[in-house]
Structure 1
């Protein structure tokens, strides 16, 4: 069954392994007849700082308005990003701070402890790179960057994470390891 897929590359660079993972996923998803759109955060023009919090919503730049439209269009999101300092890159965090706004992604109602999830019905895959061995990140650090994205960001808005692939350590990875990881991304895209 064909789906509308939005791939969001959270690594700000254009020549990263995250970019190669995104490209592998995109190619396989297109080969599987999915309708795919791509958003590379490093190419967008916007202020990633939410200057007043939610006390005053700052006007969204055109690239952020387009991003919101793409999220509403999508049935499935694919987030590709590195773990830096245990969490998501600042650009990606700022992107979500700016676009996942009340009235778009969630809505609090008086007398209700938890907000309405306005992006219900969407699913997500996460493809995450790190220089820490994934087992160490899981058992010693307790995966803060994955919990933040899956629970505190996506699930909070109603997006259901289906699968998370972690790749690492990237530093010192052999060409054979990288090829295996790219194939895992392609395989996930065809599910």
Structure 2
């Protein structure tokens, strides 16, 4: 088994959450197998979520937390994100981190475009896993909403900057899961962490 460099992002903005528990389980298991993990907890990060009016020609300087996040995305071979599903999307603070940190010249190249005119991705050669908690069962997320959140993560954010494939592991219904169910989820996440998957 090869040792991997992993960036792990807990995308839940609360100080304590199921997502944080899953992230910490993944981290412990991955580190126990010798993988190198750099951990970012959105709830503890301080930054302005608003991209503002400057555009790409006059971007706000990155706060230390966002510079560390982007540097670790550049460093990593595997990206792991935990996120709850809120109103069909990710929490605003997690989206704000992506809005601010994934900048041209670091995450994508607007001077060089693909065959269909998209900026060239600059974070290629990395894979991703999203651990998604929701109250909507995975089958209904697909049938009723066309897996919109998965498309946003896999195609419009991570895939756009070259991180692919993005695989998903869904945990639902999450709000009132009993301890036995949560423990089974932790065991599943621990296995993923051990395998750096």
TM-score by length of 2: 0.92
Deviation string, structure 1 residues 113-171 (Cα, Å, up to 9, x no partner): 12111001111111010111222112111121111011100010000134210101112
Q: Does 1:39 align with 2:40?
A: yes
Are 1:60 and 2:62 an aligned pair?
Answer: yes
Structure 2: gaps spanning 5 or more residues: none
Q: Give the Å deviation of 1:69.
A: 1.3
* 3-state SS of paired residue (2:145): coil
Runs ≥4 in structure 1, deviation > 2 angstroms? 53-56, 109-112
Deviates more, 1:75-84 or 1:133-142: 133-142
Aligned pair count reads: 191
Tell whether 2:171 aligns with 1:167.
Answer: yes
CA contact (8 A) 1:81 1:89 kept: yes
Partner-residue secondary structure (3-state), 1:156: coil
Alignment of 1:42-191 (within 5 A): 42-52=43-53, 53-109=55-111, 113-191=117-195
**Alpha-carbon distance in structure 1 between the residues aligned to 2:87 and 2:151:** 14
Deviations 1:32-75 (A, max 9, x none): 11011100011111000000243521111121111111111211
Q: CA RMSD in A?
A: 1.4
